[in-house]
């Protein structure tokens, strides 16, 4: 959580910092702040509780002296509430050094005690201020920010990306990272730092990802990267293939609305160049090809929406590739003694590629001999770099906190992986493979058809804005969609929502049904010979008999649901495994519209941040 941006160069820094923070605000929006070395060579700091707008309105009302060196921060509070005092930057004791931080310094209490014993005082409740005071103390002895960092980082436990500048070193910003992300943006006569490339993509498309336990010093015309001991580290610049405009709202009412509208492209772009002559081609997996072919088990690790994508991956990998698959929440995985071995392939899924729980789970699995493969959306992401192989989704930047287009792109990538394994392991014949690829190829157009139902769903949502509880039911691949529908409604509209496997109803949850209870049911196609359609229709009848108000998501032409459903949302015909890629969209739109009808901030729901970079 928390977004970080740094700048040194030849133009006024404030605009660069605020622009970067605007693009990083999805990472946290409890408070925002900037520190600059102004034209007079003085450190100036401005910070406010609340969203970035609170700060920018104040800076517009009372303009400040700008400079060409600065750092900026948007916060998701961990230590200390979201107040002006706890907002970053924090200052060293002489007021000449400013620090911003993403992560948690776990031993900050002990360090603070030591510093208080030496006579230092603190203005905030944050762990970050401890790092600022330590850096200030070491700067006084070394007279150099990079050297001061080298002395301090070894004393910090936990996760941190820290950026600092000092009034006596204009034109220099220094950063360090452990277990939290940091990327350099390479410019002409200027350089940038950011939590991710979104921070500076409008200024440069060349970037360098900073590795674990490294310190970076940027000047207008040079960058220097070392390890924590000061040994030089070779850097590997990469090109950012995101269009900067993709990170703007582009006329939509919210990023979420825009991102839902981009789902057909997210699926098409994730497939692009990866299907040829009836085969899936994934050259990025060549390095782990033999392990994939011989794997005796796949273990999928992810959190939240990405974990629901993983559940769908299980159905596809087991059916098409015949390999046993387990799906686990990353944060539950490494705190027991999971059995993994050299023939276990761990597939992690993460839009941001920075989720701390997933990153730590991947490291844990790798240390125990598993081969790790990550599915990420953000280029240069830590999880991708910490894995043996990475399969990128090409959904483009996802800014809204609620994940939408990344989800369909993740499922697409998993299905490509499953079909690739199916041919490597000779588990599908040519016709079966071709049929599945044809269905996959037809999805973008079918998604466009689903998007045409948006107004109908908006109407439905408006009529339900006073609803206090909504249930979601599904079976087989409809089950993860029920879970995802409930998650979306909880996080966006703050409504109690639960997803159930429909078969589980009679084992307890049916007791929740009372007259008027709204229940979404994801109905499978009746055309499939193994279809669970009759069973789901029976489930609908059971809850309908107890007064539930049913909203069915069913394929076009399914008339069997009509007598029992109060509302029916239609999706185009496709094969069973592909239905979730279509049925999830109405649920995303519903949650968004219900939140909007309640006057809530759809892009930045309360208490949340997009990248969960602390455990």
Kindly list the catalytic residues. 2, 610
Quick one: which segment of 40-48, 164-172, 173-181, 397-405 binds ligand M6R (CB under 6 A)?
A: 397-405
Of 98, 135, 391, 402, the residue at the interface with ligand M6R (CB under 6 A) is 402
Are 299 and 267 in contact by the 8 Å Cβ rule? The answer is no
Work out the number of other CB atoms within 10 angstroms of the CB of residue 158.
16
- Residue closer to ligand M6R (CB basis): 309 or 548: 309
133 makes contact with ligand M6R (CB under 6 A): no
Q: Residue ranges of the alpha helices (H) in 463-578?
A: 478-493, 533-544
Quick one: which segment of 157-165, 300-308, 424-432, 593-601 binds ligand M6R (CB under 6 A)?
A: 300-308
Of 594, 612, 613, 614, the residue at the interface with ligand M6R (CB under 6 A) is 612
Of 44, 102, 126, 358, the residue at the interface with ligand M6R (CB under 6 A) is 358
Rounded to whole angstroms, the Cα distance separating 536 from 531 reads: 10
Cis peptide upstream of residue 155 (ω within 30 degrees of 0): no
Tokens of 84: 């002006």
Give the nearest distance from C-beta 410 to ligand M6R in angstroms.
8
Are 470 and 499 in contact by the 8 Å Cβ rule? The answer is no
327 makes contact with ligand M6R (CB under 6 A): no
| Nearest residue (beta carbon) to ligand M6R | 304
591 makes contact with ligand M6R (CB under 6 A): no
Are 544 and 550 in contact by the 8 Å Cβ rule? The answer is yes
Give the nearest distance from C-beta 487 to ligand M6R in angstroms.
6
CA atoms within a 13 Å half-sphere pointing along the CA-CB vector of 75: 30
Give the per-residue SS3 of 335-350.
CCCCCCCCCEEEEEEE
- Residue closer to ligand M6R (CB basis): 340 or 487: 487
306 makes contact with ligand M6R (CB under 6 A): yes
Of 254, 352, 393, 525, the residue at the interface with ligand M6R (CB under 6 A) is 352
Are 99 and 72 in contact by the 8 Å Cβ rule? The answer is no
Segment (H or E) for 224: strand 222-227
- Residue closer to ligand M6R (CB basis): 381 or 440: 381
372 makes contact with ligand M6R (CB under 6 A): no
- Residue closer to ligand M6R (CB basis): 460 or 614: 614
485 makes contact with ligand M6R (CB under 6 A): no
Using alpha carbons, select from 549, 480, 462 the residue that is nearest to residue 313. 480
Quick one: which segment of 105-113, 348-356, 538-546, 578-586 binds ligand M6R (CB under 6 A)?
A: 348-356
Please list the helix, strand and coil fractions of the chain in percent, rounded to the nearest 5, in that order: 40, 25, 40
Rounded to whole angstroms, the Cα distance separating 531 from 514 reads: 28
Give the nearest distance from C-beta 77 to ligand M6R in angstroms.
17
Q: Which residues bind ligand M6R (CB under 6 A)?
A: 303-306, 350-352, 355, 358, 401-403, 487, 491, 611-612
């Amino acid at each position: 959580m928390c977004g970080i941006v740094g700048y040194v160069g030849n133009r006024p820094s404030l605009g660069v910092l605020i622009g970067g923070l605007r693009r990083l605000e999805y990472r946290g929006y409890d408070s925002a702040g900037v520190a600059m070395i102004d034209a007079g060579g003085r450190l100036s700091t401005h910070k406010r509780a609340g969203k970035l707008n609170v700060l920018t309105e104040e800076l517009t009302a009372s303009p400040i002296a700008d400079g060409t060196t600065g750092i900026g921060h948007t916060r998701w509070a961990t230590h200390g509430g979201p107040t002006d005092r706890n907002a970053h930057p924090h200052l060293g004791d002489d007021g000449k050094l400013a620090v911003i931080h993403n992560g948690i310094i776990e031993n900050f209490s002990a360090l603070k005690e030591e510093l208080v014993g030496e006579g230092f005082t603190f203005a905030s409740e944050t762990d970050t201020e401890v790092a600022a005071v330590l850096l200030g103390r070491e700067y006084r002895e070394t007279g150099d920010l990079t050297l001061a960092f080298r002395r301090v980082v070894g004393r910090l436990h936990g996760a941190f990306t820290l950026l600092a500048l000092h009034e006596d070193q204009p034109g220099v910003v220094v950063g360090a990272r452990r277990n939290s992300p940091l990327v350099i943006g390479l410019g002409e006569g200027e350089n940038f730092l950011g939590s991710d490339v979104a921070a500076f993509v409008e200024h440069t498309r060349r970037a360098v990802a900073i590795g674990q336990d490294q310190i970076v010093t940027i000047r207008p015309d040079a960058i220097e990267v070392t390890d924590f001991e000061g040994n030089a580290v070779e850097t590997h610049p990469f090109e950012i293939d995101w269009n900067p405009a993709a990170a703007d709202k582009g006329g939509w009412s919210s990023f979420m609305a825009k991102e839902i509208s981009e789902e057909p492209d997210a699926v098409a772009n994730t497939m692009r160049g990866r299907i040829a002559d009836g085969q899936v081609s994934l050259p990025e997996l060549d390095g782990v090809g033999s392990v994939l072919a011989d794997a005796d088990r796949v273990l999928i690790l992810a959190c939240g929406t990405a974990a629901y994508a993983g559940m769908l991956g299980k159905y596809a990998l087991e059916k098409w590739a015949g390999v046993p698959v387990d799906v686990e929440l990353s944060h539950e995985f490494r705190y027991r003694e999971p059995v993994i071995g050299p023939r276990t392939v761990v597939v992690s899924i993460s839009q941001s590629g920075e989720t701390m729980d997933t990153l730590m789970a991947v490291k844990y699995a790798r240390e125990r001999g598993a081969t790790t493969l990550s599915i990420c959306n953000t280029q240069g992401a830590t999880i991708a770099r910490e894995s043996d192989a990475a399969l990128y989704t090409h959904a483009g930047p996802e800014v809204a906190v609620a994940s939408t287009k990344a989800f369909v792109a993740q499922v697409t990538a998993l299905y490509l992986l499953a079909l690739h394994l199916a041919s490597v392991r000779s588990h599908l014949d040519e016709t079966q493979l071709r049929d599945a690829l044809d269905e996959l190829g037809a999805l973008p157009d079918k998604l466009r058809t689903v998007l045409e139902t948006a107004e109908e769903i908006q109407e439905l949502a408006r009529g339900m804005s006073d609803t206090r509880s909504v249930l979601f039911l599904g079976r087989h691949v409809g089950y993860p969609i029920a879970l995802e529908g409930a998650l979306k409604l909880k996080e966006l509209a703050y409504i109690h929502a639960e997803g159930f496997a429909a078969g589980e109803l009679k084992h307890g949850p049916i007791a929740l049904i009372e007259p008027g209870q709204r229940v979404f049911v994801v109905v499978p196609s009746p055309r499939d010979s193994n279809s669970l359609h009759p069973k789901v229709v029976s489930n609908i009848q059971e809850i309908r008999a107890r007064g539930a108000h049913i909203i069915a998501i069913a394929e076009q032409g399914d008339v069997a649901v009509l007598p029992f459903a109060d509302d029916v949302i239609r999706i185009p015909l496709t094969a069973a495994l592909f239905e979730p890629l279509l049925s999830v969209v109405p649920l995303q739109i519903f949650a968004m519209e219900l939140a909007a009808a309640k006057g809530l901030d759809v892009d930045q729901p309360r208490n949340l941040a997009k990248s969960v970079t602390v455990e």
